[in-house]
Amino acid sequence: MRLTRRDALAALSAVGMGSAAGCSAPDAETWGEEPDSDDTESPDLELADDDLETLVALAGVLYPSEVENVGEFVAEWVRPRVRGRPEHGRGMLDAVSTLNEYAESLDGAAYADLDPDTREELLSYMAVDTADPDPNGDDDERVRYYLVNDLLFGLYASPTGASLAGLENPPGYPGGTASYQRGPE
């Protein structure tokens, strides 16, 4: 299954960062106030090419083997999240650095430069697969929260990724009652 830019945009819409983002009415507490600097895009916070390469390599381990076009999807999913949510973006960039530090210290190369089996072993060694996601936790918990969960959410919030999980009609997509009355194939 090929992931497209449209899949990334649909996933971004699921988190409120798509084309309708920013169109909500102000609430009573923020009426007439200027937006906080953390609520606006941060032009100085940018995903470097080597950071993106690390995220694509991680997605290559996490995503099912039948998924194609992972690099473009990850770039379209992650770049707006780093720019649009600066605090989360800094956490992601720090978690990428942590993952690369582990790879350098254990295998002598950046995470993206390792072969896929070694990448998967590194995640197991870090216990990322069993860690509780916590943005303020230990290294494994932050990698789980900012990288693993974020990449998986992006995949499964997209229409193509949702269909991989057997969700033919994810929330927010048309289908009507006929899609709910149809049995599994």
pLDDT digits (tens, 9 = 90+) for 106-116: 999 999 999 99
Contacts for 84 with CB less than 8 Å, ≥ 6 apart? 17, 21, 41
- State the CB neighbour count (10 A cutoff) for residue 141: 18
Identify the H or E element spanning 6.
helix 5-14
pLDDT at position 159 is 80
pLDDT at position 177 is 60
Name, of 13-22, 34-43, 55-64, the range with top average pLDDT.
55-64
- Cα torsion at 141, 143, 144, 150 (round to 10°)? 140
* Rounded to 5°, angle at Cα 80 from 11 and 109: 100
pTM of the model: 0.75
